[in-house]
Structure 1
Amino acid sequence: MTANEPLRVGVNLLWLVPGVVGGSEEYTTRLLRGLAHDLPPDLHLTLFALGPFAEAHPDLVAAYPTVTTRIDGHRKPERVAAEATWLAREAGRRNIELLHHAGGVIPPGPAIARTPAAVTIHDIQPLLMPENFSAVKRRWLTAMIPRAARKAAMVFTPSDPTSQSVVEHLGVPPSRVTTVPHGIEPPIPVSADDVAAVRERYHLDGQIILYPAITYPHKDHVTLVRAFARLAPSRPDLTLVLAGAAGPSEADVVAAIRSSGVGDQVRRTGRIPWDDLTALYGAATVVAVPSRFEGFGAPALEAMAAGVPVVVADATALPWVVGSAGLKVRPGDIGQLAGALARVLDEPAVHATLAAAGRVRAAHFSWDVAAQDLAAGYRAAAAMGETRPR
């Protein structure tokens, strides 16, 4: 890059299999949309992505030069090989000066190592809760995440607590870590007709506790189901809605629902369209996020922006996201979770206070601000250069 030319940044999205990687897909794609909205003239971004990405996110393909590979990303060895060879070759052809690996690791190999790198580490759960991962994935991530942190010119994370964990557990100097938080679009009021339609679609009456999350172990659906079982018998019009795809803990969640005695008051929607989820936020009485580990915690932010009270586990990034605008409970504490939910369900003053505070808190997060943080991080990474050879 010369004084008159923009910094040529490549964004490695080969890890992003649409509909599979969960919240990191939403974070990355919305962040890129925010940056495209007002791309600084000193930056030029090129996306390197899977073919299905172009089909799932045509607006981003229209916003940025995008180079796609034919692979679909479902076979990890094939994807890693493509990062080490195809990506390195295509980045070289386009004179990319900084490669942003947005999926948490920097690919191995001498060819890809020629281009200075930045990396987004969404969280370090594989290092702190390795039992939540398969043996193969655990070995890969426990080797590759620390390596990425060492090699990157700049590490991006989605929250201050995650940034602190990268500094403390991976030994990265604070000067090489930048928080680029999630944002939230200005809320659009959900019409009464849309709320009524989603209630009818998913057979919902009365009060609703909503938890939108894939059934990963750390999401701790089981604690929520058990807390709900304490509330539901005396509240026959109360429904627990678990919105999200099936994950590794699916069998445990199903077993917990079956043994709860109140399974008829639980709705499983599976993965649903964003419009349906927005309407569910409009219908919900309270959103519960009992997750034991979050790099950020987007459902809590989405709920607050919609004016829905939140009850979250007092763990990792969740307290940072909600501040004083939500109720916090000990992770895994069934009684505390049931009690906090009961307060929101039964005390109108608590409900109203949390709803108002949540809207104020959510207003502190925007994709435009996050995009500015990302742009600043790119500039800092380019100025710093990689500090260690691969």
Structure 2
Amino acid sequence: MTRKVPPRVVLDARVLRGAPGGVATVVAALVDHLPAVAPDVPFVFLRHPDARGPLSRAPNVTEWLVSGDPNHPDSLLRLGAWLGGRLGPDDLFHAPYRVLPLGAPAKSVLTMHDVMQIACPELVFPNPLLRVLLAPYWGAAIRSSIRRAGRILAVSQHSADDTIRVDPTSAPRVRVTPLGVDPVFTTLPEAEALARTNDLVPDGRRFFLVLGGGYPNKNHAAAVRAFARAFTAADDLHLVIIQRERTFPEELARALQATGLLSRVHVQSRVGLPALVGLYARAEALIFPSLYEGFGLPVLEAMACGCPVVCSSLTSVPEVAGDAALIRDPRDTDALAGALRAVARDEALRRDLRARGLARAARFRWEDTARRTIDAYRELAPWIP
């Protein structure tokens, strides 16, 4: 007699294999918080063979080893069939990376971080030839995924609105599940912040911080141009750019050459988490001039560390920043430069932004994201208590 397996929630967590990025941060938070928020729900996490050990040791978690990249066409074409041979009729599947495999069960949840490939493909595929080759595939894959998903979790209201613009029929199935900020991002004593970062930025050096992947939507060249316009060499201020991938893209290199700031702009490919928290704690401000974001986690991370924020007025960024940042049009170099000068020269403004930022960041908790996610699961799977 075959033993009946109770229904499960299956989360594709294969992105957790060491590479940094916003999607990996979101999935890691779900892996950490979902089992605790719903202790009576059996979870299955799909784990990549390259991941370091178990993703979770929670008693209600099982892990299945599955190779492949969740964002690769092979997953779109084959993972659904693989799941079909293992999932029961009441199991729920969650694809947290924008694409839902073909043949995925009807009880499927899709996380939409953004629809950049459709809304602004030039920011995803700056090479025109690659854009011609890849944008049609991604457009079709995303539209198909939105159409087939039982519920769609948008990480911001902006992401929800963009998703509905792509497919108006999705509106009744979209739920907004704002992201959180990890407690590791916190204020530090001055001595500890310096100890964590002295090898990156010497003691006594004032600097602004830029963070993110080196992709066109991050608009790091705009930060360089605004910094150059805001400060002369006599100001003795520096700019530290942490690019998680694609260090020194062509546009950034051109901006550095044009402004003549090579001696005062320092680009790092990546830093460890303790050092990043230390940089946030020491920086005059985070500059976040993004042209398009689905959410914008660095804004909250900086605020949680007491770092003032100068950020973009576009897409989801003002939604995340609220009234706790200096919000400027990232295409307006003079406006950005004016905000940077104000932060550098006005200690009262810095104190106000720190206080507002700390209060703002405290409103975004991963536990709340997990609870909203469980609420969406429950709409498709009423067996979830």
The alignment's TM-score, normalised by the length of structure 2, stands at 0.88
- Does residue 1:98 correspond to 2:92, yes or no? yes
Q: Whole-Å Cα distance in 2 between the matches of residues 194 and 81 of structure 1?
A: 49
Percent of matched pairs sharing the same residue: 28
Which residue is equivalent to 2:307? 308
Deviations 1:172-209 (A, max 9, x none): 44331111111123454424343223442113442221
Q: Which amino acid aligns with 1:181?
A: P
The number of residue pairs the alignment matches comes to 370
Alignment pair present for 1:181 and 2:178? yes
Equivalent position SS for 1:113:
coil
The residue number in structure 2 matching 1:22 is 21
Cα distance in 1 between the residues matched to 2:36 and 2:217: 34
- Structure 1 residue 58 displacement after superposition: 3.9
Aligned runs of 1:1-16 on 2, under 5 Å?
7-14=7-14, 16=15
In the other structure, the counterpart of 2:291 is 292
**Residue aligning to 1:216:** 215
SS of residue in 1 equivalent to 2:45: strand
Which residue matches 2:348?
349
1:233 maps to 232
Does residue 76 (structure 1) correspond to residue 67 (structure 2)? The answer is: no
Distance 2:20 2:274 in 1: 20
Stretch deviating more after TM superposition (244-253 or 354-363): 244-253
Distance 1:230 1:59, change over 3 A: same
Distance 2:71 2:294 in 1: 26
**Alignment partner, residue 33 of structure 1:** 32
- Structure 1 gaps of 5+ residues are 385-390
TM-score scaled to structure 1, two decimals?
Answer: 0.87
Shift of 1:228: 1.1
Of residues 162, 165, 169, the one that matches 2:162 is 165
Instruction: Name the structure 2 match of 1:323.
Output: 322
Q: Which runs of 4+ in 1 moved over 6 A?
A: none
More helix by share: 1
Contact map agreement 2:83 2:104 (CA 8 A) in 1 = no
Matched, 1:149 2:146: yes
CA contact (8 A) 1:159 1:181 kept: yes
Q: Structure 2 CA distance, aligned partners of 1:128 and 1:371?
A: 28
Pairing 1:124–2:103 present: no
Mapped to 2, the partners of 1:154 and 1:10 lie a distance apart of: 14
Deviates more, 1:310-319 or 1:160-169: 160-169
How has the CA–CA distance of structure 1 residues 293 and 25 changed in structure 2, closer, same or farther, with 3 Å as cutoff?
Answer: same
Q: Given the superposition, is the C-alpha separation of residues 75 and 380 from structure 1 closer, same or farther in structure 2, using an over 3 Å criterion?
A: closer
| Cα offset, 1:36, TM superposition | 2.8
Query: Is the contact made by 1:17 and 1:74 (CA closer than 8 Å) also made in structure 2?
Result: no
SS in 1 for 2:198: helix
Partner of 2:135: 138
Q: Quick one: which amino acid aligns to residue 192 of structure 2?
A: D
Equivalent residue number for residue 64 of structure 2: 67
1:21 CA displacement? 6.4
The whole-number CA distance in structure 2 between the counterparts of 1:154 and 1:77 is 22
C-alpha contact 1:217 1:249 (8 A) present in aligned 2? no
Amino acid at match of 2:165: E
Shift of 1:74: 9.7
The 3 A distance-change label for structure 1 pair 200 and 266 is same
Report the residue type matching 1:161 in the other structure: H
